[in-house]
């Protein structure tokens, strides 16, 4: 019996150890996952950090993948990629990191567990997620949140700078 493939959107970010390189390496690691096809990536965006910890600016992007991974096994695979990139998985919340991979959307489903919420609950407030997501899927409807085009109008994009690289 074959598993159903879902379109999944992954937030990719870094602000340590050559962030542009880290984000691109994150895309390559996503493309290398078994049972997964990297469909599209957004441009990279520079933006100020979120949270109370003083740290360098981030480079963020979004990747669209088609995968047969269910949410929890995908989360474990993403944590393994972060660990290989040098992320301290016991590090400070909202602290600096070489690579951050977040499941934003998994098909049209809503999923909740002790370790994972899909859609990512912070999406409506995060320009660094909404801008690159809109770039690759402008007509997206986010389950339980509404139209991406409506959400992006309500978020402050100040500081979001597309970067070449």
- Paired tokens of 150: 């409506």
97 is catalytic: yes
Among 100, 114, 126, 156, which one carries the catalytic annotation? 100
At 134, give phi and psi (nearest 5°).
-65, -30
Spatial separation of the C-alpha atoms in residues 23 and 117, rounded to whole Å = 23
Catalytic residue among 3, 43, 57, 97: 97
Mark whether 87 is an active-site residue.
yes
Token reading at 80: 């393994």
Q: Which of 18, 66, 87, 126 is catalytic?
A: 87
Q: Which of these is catalytic: 3, 18, 93, 102?
A: 102
> Which residues on adjacent β-strands are paired with residue 47?
58
Q: What are phi and psi of 117, to 5 degrees?
A: -125, 125
Write out the catalytic residue numbers.
87, 97, 100, 102
């Amino acid at each position: 019996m074959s598993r159903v493939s879902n379109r999944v959107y992954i937030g990719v970010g870094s602000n340590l150890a050559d962030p542009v390189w880290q984000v691109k390496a994150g895309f390559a690691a996503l493309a290398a996952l078994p049972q997964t096809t990297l469909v599209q990536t957004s441009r990279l965006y520079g933006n100020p950090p979120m949270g109370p910890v003083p740290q360098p600016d981030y480079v963020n992007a979004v990747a669209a993948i088609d995968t047969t991974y269910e949410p929890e096994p995908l989360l474990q695979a993403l944590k393994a990629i972060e660990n290989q990139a040098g992320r301290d998985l016991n590090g400070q919340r909202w602290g600096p990191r070489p690579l951050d991979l977040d499941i934003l959307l998994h098909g049209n489903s809503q999923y909740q567990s002790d370790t994972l919420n899909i859609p990512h609950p912070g999406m409506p407030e995060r320009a660094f997620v909404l801008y690159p997501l809109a770039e690759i899927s402008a007509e997206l409807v986010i389950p339980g949140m509404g139209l991406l085009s409506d959400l992006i109008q309500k978020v402050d994009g100040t500081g979001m700078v597309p970067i070449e690289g």
